[in-house]
Amino acid sequence: MILTANNDVVAPDMTPIAEFLGANDPENFLTAFWILYILINVLSIIVFNLGFARKLPLLKNIVIYAAMLFGNMFITFLAFTLPIIESLFLAALVLGIYKLQLRRHKQLASEEE
């Protein structure tokens, strides 16, 4: 809630996903927060796995995922007013298309040999 100069209380503009989850209603805010947090974590893991070129050892993966889960808690607060989920979805889509094209190109190159 934002207090204006003439003492009016104004709710901040929310993203369409946050509004759909009912984040404007104080009773639904906690539920919307956890759903956004889970969505951000899932999309972050997908983007990380699609974008990172090589496989890491198990301990390094655990450290990275733990840091990601901790950091995404703060990003979730930003996701109420900024298009974080939409951006992660587009990044996952672009990286997925890139990986498919790369795999297809490698298969064609190996068939030509």
- Give the Cα separation of 1 and 4 in Å (integer): 10
Determine contact, residues 80/36, Cβ cutoff 8 Å.
yes
Segment-wise mean pLDDT, segments of 10 residues, the chain, 113 residues: 62 79 81 92 93 85 93 92 92 93 86 73
Q: What share of the chain is helix, strand, coil (3-state, %, to 5)?
A: 70, 5, 25
Per-residue confidence (pLDDT) for residue 9, from 0 to 100: 64
Per-residue confidence (pLDDT) for residue 87, from 0 to 100: 94
Per-residue confidence (pLDDT) for residue 13, from 0 to 100: 81
Residue 21 burial (CB count, 10 A)? 21
User: What are the extents of the domains in the chain?
Assistant: 20-105
Per-residue confidence (pLDDT) for residue 5, from 0 to 100: 64
